[in-house]
Amino acid sequence: MTGDPTIPPISGTAPRCLWEGDTLVVKAGGAIRQRWVLEQTDGEPVLVFMHDGGGAGSRTVAALTALDGALTRAGDPAALRLSLPADLQAVLEAEGVLVTAPGGVVRVLAAALYQKPDLWLRGPGGSRHPQIHTLSHGRYHPRRPAKAPGVLYERRIPWLDRVLSFRLADMDRDLTRFHTWMNDPRVAAFWQEAGDIVQHRAYLENQLEDPHTLPLIASLDGAAFGYFEVYWAKENHIGAFYDAHDYDRGWHVLIGDENIRGKAYVSAWLPSLVHFMFLDDVRTQRIVGEPRADHHQQIRNLDRSGFAKVKEFNFPHKRALLVMLLRERFFGDRLWLPRADPAPKAGA
């Protein structure tokens, strides 16, 4: 785990929450790191600290993990009341995830916690990459960080009870599956990249070498199911169709495994992909997309995920819909968890 260098990983293993009734147990490397209890006080859920079994650094990560688990268990509130030791409270206040109300009531803010990279980001991230502008293909934009190999993001999906991960695509490991997926008629209808393995090797090499794209393989419990292409919008062809900011990002998606389809899976990988893009560089304030204007299922998924429709426009190869999601909305409305479908309009 990387992220804030002052918060090391626990024994090199990401911690995990387990529930024993109302008791939350944080374990890592087979050892119990912390225990908390979720109680009801005056009709309000309160997370109460009970036991600590780790060192200073692991203690912080374990506490952040507990806050994540408790917010989910408590029904996704915007804030959750806490009872914890003063020294741990001071550490978490320094991390920016707590607020103290008049009278001394302490709460964790969900919108702050989920902007901390420490529990989810595995790569170095780009936030510490210096901003130095350059010119390429007639576009003035920041220099982009080098691509880090390996797993870049991990998140346990509560309703699937599986670990979703994104890793950088690897030519030796992924070319064959990428070739198979691209030649699936369902995929080819939208990507229009069916071809032989030589063509697909060249395509993947180009994505790996291009500083403005990040080709990712998405997996559940280590089993690859899709190819996600993250890009910097300013250097992308979409940048010619709106006023792109320096750190806007966008994405393309290919779900190669037929078994990983449907609402339960979309509501896992789509918000997680957005979460990754916002965590990867804190300067990213907007995520954009350009689905085909007639791809109604994808547009419904984007509606459910909080994307706003901006306009339709013409690419050379398709009529597209520009959609956009703001950092403020994603974290403020807690869109990393599934939302109900929008209510139908009266008379519809």
Tokens representing residue 73 in the block: 């268990």
Q: Which of 93, 290, 312, 328 is catalytic?
A: 290
Beta bridge partners of 136: 139
> CA nearest 208: which of 188, 236, 231, 189?
231
Q: Concatenated DSSP letters for 73-139?
A: HTT--SEEEEE--HHHHHHHHHTT-EEE-TTS-EEEEHHHHTT-GGGTB-S--STTS---EEEETTE
d(CA 223, CA 27): 24
Tokens representing residue 119 in the block: 């529990």
- Which residues touch 291 (CB under 8 Å, ≥6 apart)? 298, 299, 302, 320, 321, 323
Beta bridge partners of 311: 322
d(CA 171, CA 19): 40
Active site residue 44: no
The helices-and-strands tally (H runs, E runs) of the chain is 9, 17
What residues are labeled active site? 290
